[in-house]
Amino acid sequence: MRHTVRRTLLVMMLGLSAGALPLTGLAEARPAAQATASVRIIDTAAVQAAIARGALLWDVRSAEDYRKGHIPGAVNIGDISRTLRREVDEDFIPLEQMARLLGSVGLDPAREIVIYGDKGSAVPYFGLYTIEYLNGRRASVYHGGIDDWKAAGLALSTQPPQPTPVNLNLSVNPQVAVSTDYVLAALKRPDVQIVDVRTLPEFKGEDVRALRGGHIPGALNIPYEQNWVDPDTPSKLTRRQVNSKDGMALKPAGKLRELYARLDPNKETIVYCQSGVRAAQTAGVLKELGFTNVKVYDGSWLAYGNTLDAPAENLSFFNVGAMQARMTALQRRLETLERALAEVQARAPAPSAAQP
């Protein structure tokens, strides 16, 4: 996965209370040279303005969720964290395949594109990262997504549009993403800072999702959920303590600047997670805050943790034996359930013959 860019989506919707940007106060806080920079993270009013301008709408949720209801006119190629990545290493599919897939629904990276999913989801930011990786400069993320659209009482559609397919000749922006070799070389550079947006257990090597656990030396751990007003919202939803995703809205700009106060906005900033999706959200937020040189580590910990000679802190290793034991136990339980089901079926009375 790769990342970096600019894009134009200036929204000045004076007098519309719903038009406030999710990152409140950002425009005032930017240096004068950056005050006219394109806006990457937008709200409902800005989405409506973009639609009126003829922007493309990209729904990056699963095909099933899309069919249940989407913003009218939005196109969909499924959950892009799956459809645009290889299963084996979670890296991008080949460029030619990506061109066919995006082109089939008319998604031209050169166009203005509004990307959305569920509120707070990192996947739309992965879509933004993808467009920037493909040299797009006019994409933005609707952070509130389908949830804010519905909350505003706006119409949904269950009918897919009929987009005009386009032939794409895609190229890659080398400034957007970095490789494992790049990260290893950057460890020796004082002008580079690294942000790990995974959970604390992942960072500490307690939750191992590669051959090794731990983190890149010197990385600062700020889980991407900390970008939200209430990072505990998903667990609260599970426990039915709240009934909406409002807590997954972005913090105001001032609070986000406090969150990232230990970082230098003028240094090169490398962001990583497990495979690049969560990192894409933090990368998008940092760019919106005015960080001048933000890159996503393409392979993230999945690649770094499997590079056995790469230095790591809080180093741990994947316990193959324990995993095998758990799999064996699960297999035995499955076999027990299958035998019990067979016994129940054997005892069931045979259906009576149909009377003539």
For 240-268, b where at least 16 C-beta lie within 10 A, e where not — what string?
eebeebbbbbbbebeebbebbeebeeebb
Q: For the chain, give the percent of residues with pLDDT over 90.
A: 75
Asked if the structure places residue 185 within a domain, the reply is yes
Look at residue 21 in the predicted model and tell me its pLDDT.
Answer: 43
Q: Provide the token pair at 39.
A: 């806006």
The residue among 279, 314, 316 whose CA lies nearest residue 300 is 279
Chain mean pLDDT for the chain: 88
Instruction: Give residue 323's pLDDT band: very low, low, confident or very high (50, 70, 90).
Output: low
Are 191 and 275 members of one domain? yes
pLDDT greater than 60 at residue 26: no
**Residues 107, 182: one domain?**
no
Query: How much is the average pLDDT of 34-50?
Result: 78
Q: Which two tokens stand for residue 82?
A: 């799956």
Provide the annotated active-site residues. Answer: 273
Give residue 355's pLDDT.
53
Closest to 72 in 3D by CA, of 196, 155, 141, 190:
155
133-173: pLDDT as tens digits: 999 999 999 999 999 999 999 999 999 999 999 999 999 99
Q: Any idea of the CA torsion for 123, 126, 131, 137, to the nearest 10 degrees?
A: 100
What is the secondary structure of 37-99 as a DSSP string?
Answer: SPP-EE-HHHHHHHHHHT-EEEE-S-HHHHHH-B-TT-B--S-HHHHTB-TTT-PBPPHHHHH
The residue-averaged pLDDT of 162-187 equals: 96
Q: Is residue 113 within 8 Å of residue 58, measured between CB atoms? A: yes
- Our CA angle for 100, 104, 110, nearest 5°, is 80
Give 339's contacts (C-beta < 8 A, 6+ positions apart): none
pLDDT of residue 354: 55
Confidence label for 328 from pLDDT (cuts 50, 70 and 90): confident
Query: Based on the domain organization, do 40 and 109 belong to the same domain?
Result: yes
- Judged by DSSP in three states, 257 sits in helix
Does 206 fall in a domain? yes
Distances (CA, A) of 184 to 204, 269, 293: 20, 14, 18
3-state secondary structure of 295: strand
- Co-location of 121 and 191 in the same domain: no
Work out the pLDDT band at 32, boundaries 50, 70, 90: very low
The tokens describing 343, both together, are 């016994």
In a domain, 200, yes or no: yes
Task: Give counts: helices (H), strands (E), the chain.
Answer: 14, 11
The last residue of a domain, from among 103, 136, 151: 151
In the chain, pLDDT over 70 holds for what percent of residues?
86
Asked whether residue 50 falls in the same domain as residue 146, the answer is: yes
CA atoms within 13 A on the CB side of 105: 19
Q: Mean pLDDT, to the nearest integer, of 105-118?
A: 98
Same domain, 192 and 146: no
The answer to whether residue 123 sits within a structural domain is yes
Query: What pLDDT does residue 321 have?
Result: 62
Average pLDDT over residues 221-231: 98
Give the CATH number of the domain where residue 28 resides: 3.40.250.10
Q: Residue for token digits 């990232």?
A: 260
DSSP 224: G
> pLDDT per residue over 234-293, tens digit each?
999 999 999 999 999 999 999 999 999 999 999 999 999 999 999 999 999 999 999 999
Domain finish residue from 133, 151, 169:
151
State how beta strands 212-215 and 313-317 pair. antiparallel
What's the pLDDT tens digit per position in 5-19? Answer: 333 232 222 223 333
Which pLDDT band holds residue 353 (cuts at 50, 70, 90)?
A: low
Report residue 327's pLDDT band, with 50, 70 and 90 as the boundaries. confident
Average pLDDT over residues 17-44: 51
Q: Give the chain's domain count.
A: 2
Q: What's the token pair of residue 279?
A: 């990192």
Residue 37's pLDDT band, with cuts at 50, 70 and 90, is very low
284 and 195 share one domain: yes
pLDDT value for 38 = 61
The tokens describing 153, both together, are 């009482």
Report the candidate in 184, 217, 179, 205 with the shortest Cα–Cα distance to residue 296. 179
Q: Which residue has the tokens 């998903």?
A: 234
Has residue 226 got a pLDDT over 80?
yes
Place of tokens 């010197």: 218
By residue count, the chain amounts to 356
326 Cβ neighbours under 8 A, 6+ residues apart? none
Query: Quick one: 87 and 200 in the same domain?
Result: no
The residue type of 340 is A
Give the separation between CA 285 and CA 293, rounded to whole angstroms.
12
Quote the domain boundaries for residue 270: 177-222+260-317
